[in-house]
Amino acid sequence: MEKEEIVEGQTLNLEEIINQNTGYLYTIIMNTTNKKLSEEDIEEIISDIFFVFWKNKEKFDKNRRLTPYLVGIAKNLIKQKFRQVEFTYDLKEYEEELVDNIDINYLIEQREKQNVIEKILEDSREEDKNIFIMFYYNGKKIREIAKELKCTEVKIKSKLYRLRKRIKKELEKGGYSYE
């Protein structure tokens, strides 16, 4: 997120900050809590994030990136929420669920696939690597990436297609299926 997008003069544009970060924070909360919180709890945490940020806006260094700062606030609020909410588990059910859900071979295979992808990205040109990361890891749309990199959507699609094709080829060489 660019500094000028969130700063108007010397004041922070809270409305813009909320619009740009709510979806991302929602995803972070869902993934961090393993979907164990209700929608109301998640909405409460999100609104509390922006309240805490606004309350402490004087402490925020405008030269720092905002998103990691907000994620830090989110993690602290999630911890607080889990301290307040009581979760009860039947230990027997939990043990059975844990044993059923852990497939070591699957985890190893996923990690090895990730290593193949990381290796391909390391060997790729910087622009191709950035496009891949923006699309798959940051969840940006092709249109957004094209606008940000000042190129056509066709170019972005083409680069993603070539990278996927390379990844598929390398995974198949290693004996893995491409999903």
d(CA 80, CA 73): 11
Residue 155: CB partners within 8 Å, gap ≥ 6? 146
d(CA 87, CA 85): 6
The β-bridge partners of 12 are: 7
In the predicted model, is pLDDT for residue 139 greater than 70?
Answer: yes
pLDDT at 9: 47
Residue 146: CB partners within 8 Å, gap ≥ 6? 152, 153, 155, 156
Position with higher pLDDT, 6 vs 167:
167
d(CA 166, CA 116): 10
pLDDT at 8: 46
- Confidence grade of residue 159 (pLDDT, cut at 50, 70, 90): very high
| 3-84 and 98-172 share one fold | no
Position with higher pLDDT, 164 vs 176:
164
- Residue showing tokens 């607080």: 80
Mean pLDDT to the nearest integer, 102-131:
83
Classified by CATH at the fold level, domain 98-172 comes out as Arc Repressor Mutant, subunit A (1.10.10)
Classified by CATH at the fold level, domain 3-84 comes out as Rna Polymerase Sigma Factor; Chain: A (1.10.1740)
In the predicted model, is pLDDT for residue 157 greater than 90?
Answer: yes
Closest CA to 156 of 145, 148, 170: 145
d(CA 37, CA 141): 28
Q: Are the C-beta atoms of 156 and 146 separated by less than 8 Å?
A: yes
pLDDT at 154: 94
* Annotated domain spans of the chain: 3-84, 98-172
- Confidence grade of residue 106 (pLDDT, cut at 50, 70, 90): confident
Would you call 40 helix, strand, or coil by DSSP?
helix
Look up the pTM and report it.
0.43
